[in-house]
Amino acid sequence: MYVVTVEDSFSSAHSLRGYEGKCENLHGHNWKVVVSIKGEKLNNIGILIDFKDIKSILKSVLSELDHKFLNDIPPFDKINPSAENISFFIFSKIKEKLPNNLKIQKVEVWESANSFATYYEGD
């Protein structure tokens, strides 16, 4: 199995409904997103998928979140825009755009330099 990984970032604000503490208030993050794509076979020039193609897919997904108040964007108007839910959202959006021979290994969403959530589907 081969795995390729790209990283990008976006900035946004959110508040966590039902949370007791500072995060219930409006606040922002400079989120870092790390996406790993896996597959079994390389193409005829020896690559799984071009890094620029993954970066383009990721950038298109993150543009939906960048410089927005996440609580106003579906599905976060109904569910909390936690790092866990954001990682699932990004995973789902990228999964729709990948060729059938590739799968997402994981999506990490970092809300700070030392705190992140990961979403992946078990094999």
CATH of the domain at 57: 3.30.479.10
The total of structural domains in the chain comes to 1
What does the pLDDT look like over 9-67, one tens digit per residue?
Answer: 999 999 999 999 999 999 999 999 999 999 999 999 999 999 999 999 999 999 999 99
Rounded to the nearest angstrom, the gap between the alpha carbon of residue 60 and the centroid of all alpha carbons in its chain is 11
Euclidean distance between CA atoms 8 and 64, whole angstroms: 14
What's the pTM? 0.95
Residues labelled as active-site residues = 23, 67, 111
pLDDT at 123: 60
Range of the domain at 96: 2-119
